[in-house]
Chain A
Amino acid sequence: MSPSPSGLAFAEASLLARARRRLLGDGLARACAALLAVVALACLLGPFVTGHPYDRLYYDYPGVPPSLALYPKPEAVGPALDRLALRMRVRAEDVAVTGEAVRLTLASDRPIDDRVLTFFSRSDTFGEARLLGRSEDGRRLTVEAPLRALRFLAGTDALGRDLLTRTLTAGRLSLALGLMATAVALGIGVVYGALAGTLGGRVDAAMMRLVDILYSLPFVFFVIMLVVFFGRSVALIFVAVGAVEWLDMARIVRAEAQAIRRRDYVRAAEALGLSTGAILRRHVVPNLLGPVVAFAALMVPRVILLESFLSFLGLGVQEPATSWGVLIADGARSLETAPWMLIVPASFLVASLLALTLLGERLRDALDVRG
């Protein structure tokens, strides 16, 4: 007896409904999902809100530690002015710093070109300067310039780029890479495994033999070579990584497909003359949902970690793009001198991976047909 299409749809729906019920009733799963949503949203929208472009170099602020305080700090205004004056080839005199602005006199032995004032707005410390007065001989200019109020909540990197913005921007790429590679692995693995498991016999043996051979190919070597070949295109590398990572997927799917094929209703469907394609579509695929979804959720973290390993080797994502892996590899190297460069991206990475992994496990339990 074969289940009618509507009966099947009912079974499917009830499985999903039960899974949803289970997940919703699970506090940890809810927390993980919420955390992931927050991280994803922050990565998507955060860079627009932080007030810093992710690739802007603040030449005055390389390696600034995280802080709520506004920059420039009052005591830093004097030295910054001196540096600026040096670049303008003038002397800074009668400096008076108020809360939001600085008033001073620029002095030189030669008449001063007004255009030097553009240096104020070009520096990271001051805004657009206003000319208040000029001496007769043009050798003294009285100037007022507002202080630029910058905040680096998570500090800056060695080039003075805002670390929070970079971490969020990096998160977009890391998560996207994880999803992309997983999608590719999923696509290949499910199709390959389902085919092998359903067709069975010699075809299955040959297909699984290929999987065994690919298993004994050292994976890291493979990835390094891929990076060498496709170094310019990160996306391509991770499509390729996905194309290598499908082996586990194929094995899991094949085992499930075999088990399902042995079940009575599938045999009955076969006896009734349903085509292989129809059996695949109606019976095998729905039953695979649980393990496949769970495996996918666990694979995203693996891919993200792989990217960070490549970054440790210097083969990760390249400028101007950045990823959590790149930031962490950078941070691990300057652990003693600038610990925030490690802590900030690492906490984002660990939090997301933790949530993904835990959620993946809960998802597997929830979708377990037997449970």
Chain B
Amino acid sequence: MRRRDILAGFGAASFGAVPFGAAAPARAAGPAAYRRGNGADPETLDPHKTSTVAEATILLDLYEGLSTYGADGDLVPGAAAGWTTSADGLTWTFAMRPDGRWSNGDPVVADDVVHGFRRMLDPATGAKYASVLAPILNAEAVNRGAMPVDAVGVAAPDPLTVVIRLAQPTPYFVELMAHQASTPLHRPSLARFGDAFTRPGHLVSNGAYVLKDFSPNDRITAVRNPHHRDAAGIAIPRVEYIPTPDLAAAVRRFAAGEIDSLEDLPADQVKALKARFGAGVVLNPALGVLALMVNVRKRPLGDARVRRALSLALDREFLADAVWGETMLPAYSLTPAGLDNALPPPTMAGRDLSPLEREDAAVALLREAGYGPGGTPLAVELRYNITDNNRNTMVAIADMWRPLNVATAFAATDAKTHFAYLRDGGPFDIARMSWLADYADPQNFLFLVESGNDGFNSGRYANPAYDALMREAARETDLAARARILYRAEELFLADLPWIPLLHYRHKHLIGPRLRGFRPNLRGVSPTRWLSLA
């Protein structure tokens, strides 16, 4: 850094940015902008490099995939007007909208989609979410660098047609096309600005909004895209995404009317928030699970009876209500209810037993395994990444295990250490694990513990019968039959409990009095396009 520049900047800032006596902009009196609380700042506005939920919120406003999300979070046609599937489920043909426009007026054509996919899978892009396109033929090989980018199974036979060939049938493929990462690419701006195409002023997008300003850790401003086919129907002309690194402070700003909505709430305050804001507090089921991952290679945790005993002793209702302030639901299955292409999930054994019977069953199971009250104490280490709620959850769990003569030690680390430790196969006992699904399909939960999925399956669960069922489901084109196979796989999971599901996530919203049209949904998406301000 050059000192002179810094000092010059200081001068400019203290005299330029602080006009004492000047009237502050009157923003409290009903600004036209929707000030949308949005968790953290995005790491990037480049859709092909995206990875976080906060980015999804912004990118789904800025961009539109072949499909996109409707007002209820349902899947509706986006850049494509419609699509057809071949009988074997392997070829998808998307018809582009003839009136699709980029924010500078250029037409959105099939080649934009093809190049978007190629860029995302190109190893040089370094896309964190390249796996969204994994079902496409050759996508994984291209991303590994084993094939050239034009080997991807996507083609544009004419400007209004995209043909995608898949490696295997993928019933949730339409949902993948709505993901913020599978967006088309405006090639001229990439050619002109390179990676800087995401800057305000450079960024050309095809969604309902277009980027206006990006001030890190302050706010991101987007305005209505005048060329969007539905521009006349978009009620909110301007939206500001405001990062909320301190949730308690964010709630204060909400209470003062400085923020119109929040997408996360401090769990320990939910009851008080309900009393204060009434119907403004919206909690609804989400696509996620919080679980304890067990290292099944370690004795005696490799014994399914021990894992079942540990699971039986948990009071999930207390965790959900007291620790998480009802922002979570007790989980008795891996998959949450309400998924597409799925039967209602099976439930864990013992759910309907009284607590006493549960404890008896747990003690009996542990005794069989050679532990339990009066026997050898079972010593386990609970490994978690530090947050207030994680800490309280783990403390409560250790307390619930105490009657089983389980001595729990804690290994609390910062997040990076925690995740790196699990990734590198560190010798843990039991670790906190959470998963937020990308699409509402049971496969997106059940694949987590397939053998060979070393990224997630750090407990190294390996059950050939389970793997066989997962492979069978992947080949099955009949959706009802596939749902039954996946159900059987989850039953196996619940008998073995390589992960002990604790809680299912809920979406948490705080909706201000000005905001209209918000509709809670399982996917937790509410594009600004469908909202309005009173």
A residues in contact (CB < 8 Å) with B:
55, 57, 59, 62, 87-89, 113, 115-116, 118-119, 158-160, 227-228, 231-232, 314-315, 318-320, 330, 332-337
Binary A-proximity of B249-267 (CB < 8 A = 1, otherwise 0) = 0001000000000000010
CA distance A94 to B526 in the complex (A): 52
Is the Cβ of A158 less than 8 Å from the Cβ of B412?
no
**Which residues of A sit under 8 angstroms from B387, Cβ to Cβ?**
314
Output the least CB separation between B118 and chain A (Å): 39
Residue of A nearest to B246 (CB): A333
Closest to A86 in B: B354
Contact with A along B45-56 (1 / 0, CB 8 A): 000000000000
- By a CB distance below 8 angstroms, the chain B residues around A231 are 412-414, 417
Within the complex, the shortest CB–CB distance from B506 to chain A, in Å, comes to 18
- Asked if residues B266 and A158 are in contact (CB atoms below 8 Å), the reply is no
- Contact between chains at A88 and B356 (CB < 8 Å): yes
Q: Are B268's CB and A59's CB within 8 A?
A: no
- Which residues of chain B in 378-409 are interfacial with respect to chain A, using CB atoms and an 8 Å cutoff? 386-388, 391-392, 394-396, 399
Q: Are B356 and A319 in contact (CB under 8 A)?
A: no
Which residue of A is nearest B399, CB measured? A57
State which residues 315-350 of B face A: CB under 8 Å.
Answer: 315, 318, 322-323
Evaluate contact between B269 and A337: CB separation under 8 angstroms. Answer: yes
> Is residue B24 contacting chain A, with contact meaning CB distance below 8 A?
no
Whose C-beta in chain B lies nearest to the C-beta of A316?
B386
Report how far A320 CA is from B407 CA in the complex, Å.
12
Describe B's contact surface by its main secondary structure: helix
Size of B's binding interface in residues, CB under 8 A: 31
Q: Is the CB–CB distance between A87 and B386 below 8 Å?
A: no
Q: Does B411 contact A (CB under 8 A)?
A: yes
Q: Are A336 and B414 in contact (CB under 8 A)?
A: no
Are A232 and B411 also in contact (CB < 8 A) when A89-B354, A160-B322, A336-B272 are?
yes
Residues of the A chain whose Cβ atoms lie less than 8 Å from the Cβ of B394: 319
Query: Contact between A333 and B266 (Cβ–Cβ < 8 Å)?
Result: yes
Q: CA separation between A319 and B390, bound complex, in Å?
A: 11
CB-CB under 8 A for A336 and B269, given A62-B322, A158-B323:
yes
Interface of A is mostly: loop
B410 at the interface (CB under 8 A from A): yes
Q: How far is the CA of A89 from the CA of B392 in the complex (A)?
A: 28
Chain B residue numbers with a CB within 8 Å of A319 are 391, 394-395, 410, 412
Contact A159 B396, CB 8 Å, known A89-B354, A115-B356 = yes
Residues of chain B contacted by A87 (CB below 8 angstroms): 354-356
* Interchain nearest-CB distance for A180 vs B (Å): 21
For B391, what are the chain A residues with a Cβ–Cβ distance below 8 Å?
318-319
Cβ distance A226 to chain B, nearest Cβ, rounded Å: 12
What is the 8 Å Cβ interface bit string for chain B, positions 358-393, against chain A (1 contact, 0 not)? 000000000000000000000000000011100110
Contact A333 B392 (CB under 8 A): no
Indicate if B248 sits at the interface (CB-CB under 8 A): yes
Q: How far is the CA of A335 from the CA of B255 in the complex (A)?
A: 14
17 A-B pairs with CB atoms under 8 Å apart are: A57-B396, A113-B356, A116-B356, A119-B355, A158-B323, A158-B392, A159-B323, A159-B395, A228-B414, A231-B412, A231-B417, A232-B411, A318-B386, A319-B395, A333-B248, A337-B269, A337-B272
